[in-house]
């Protein structure tokens, strides 16, 4: 698991670079060529690691990096990290997570209420609510409503599939297509019937798409 999640320890102060180093170290321990998968903010970590690892990464599958590159949704407020940290201190993890889903992911209040009371995964997510600011730090510079940085991932040469679910919001598709335009060998694909929750709610369907892309 990533730092601060599952059985992985948390290290403070948080630094994105440590997460990239973790992934690079894991690949180095395995040896040989690898395929990388990254979902949401994990897509950025996969790209940053691939930049370092070079030819050892032979394929990437990136699912719904939440880039905001146009007016298809409002940009993330610059103060959101501070707001979530303040909520964690004052109101606890449940309210902080709701704030992240509302202002960060754009989920309306009724949707958050449904998630709280109808989805067993909510309690699991509250356990890692303290990592929500980490995701926003990973995504810094990609959620402002402006074009993605030029050249940041120019060294990533591995064939890459950037996918978004057909049931997902328009900005996921805009961001995926924008990323394809910044990579040397990338393609965009819409995955039928999936949305941003696919990792939790439809893992078998997402895994099938990953296996197909990786030729497994």
In a shared domain, residues 187 and 86: no
Range of 188's domain? 16-73+143-214
Q: What is the mean pLDDT of the segment spanning 6-27?
A: 90
Q: What is the mean pLDDT of the segment spanning 110-133?
A: 88
Q: How confident is the model at residue 36 (pLDDT cuts 50, 70, 90)?
A: very high
pLDDT of residue 126: 92
Measured CA to CA in angstroms, residue 215 lies from 47, 54, 117, 166, 210 at distances of 20, 20, 39, 22, 8
Q: Which of 169, 165, 172, 154 is nearest to 198 (CA)?
A: 165
In a shared domain, residues 210 and 147: yes
Total residue count of the chain as it appears in this document: 216
In a shared domain, residues 61 and 155: yes
Contact 96/132 with Cβ under 8 angstroms? yes
Residue that finishes a domain, picked among 137, 154, 170: 137
Q: What is the mean pLDDT of the segment spanning 157-183?
A: 98
Q: How far apart are CA 38 and CA 57, in angstroms?
A: 13
Whole-prediction pTM:
0.93
Helix H or strand E encompassing 170:
helix 170-180
CATH (domain of 66): 3.40.50.1820
In a shared domain, residues 147 and 203: yes
């Amino acid at each position: 698991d990533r730092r601060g999640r599952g059985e992985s320890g948390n290290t403070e102060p948080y630094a994105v670079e440590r997460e990239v180093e973790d992934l690079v170290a894991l690949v180095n321990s395995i040896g040989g060529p690898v395929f990388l998968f990254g979902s949401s903010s994990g897509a950025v970590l996969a790209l940053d690691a691939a930049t370092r690892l070079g030819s050892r990464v032979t394929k990437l599958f990136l699912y719904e990096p939440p880039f905001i590159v146009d007016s298809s949704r409002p940009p993330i407020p610059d103060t959101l990290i501070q707001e979530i940290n303040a909520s964690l201190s004052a109101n606890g993890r449940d309210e902080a997570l709701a704030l992240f889903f509302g202002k960060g992911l754009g989920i309306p209040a009724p949707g958050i209420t449904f998630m709280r009371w109808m989805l067993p995964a909510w309690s699991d997510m509250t356990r890692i609510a303290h990592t929500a600011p980490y995701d926003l730090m990973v995504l810094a510079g990609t959620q402002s409503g402006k074009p993605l940085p030029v050249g940041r991932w120019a060294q990533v040469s591995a064939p890459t599939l950037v996918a978004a679910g057909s049931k997902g919001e328009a900005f996921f598709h805009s961001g995926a297509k924008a990323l394809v335009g910044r990579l040397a060998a990338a393609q965009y694909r819409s995955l039928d019937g999936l949305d941003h929750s696919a990792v939790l709610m439809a893992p078998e369907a997402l895994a099938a798409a990953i296996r197909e892309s990786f030729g497994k």
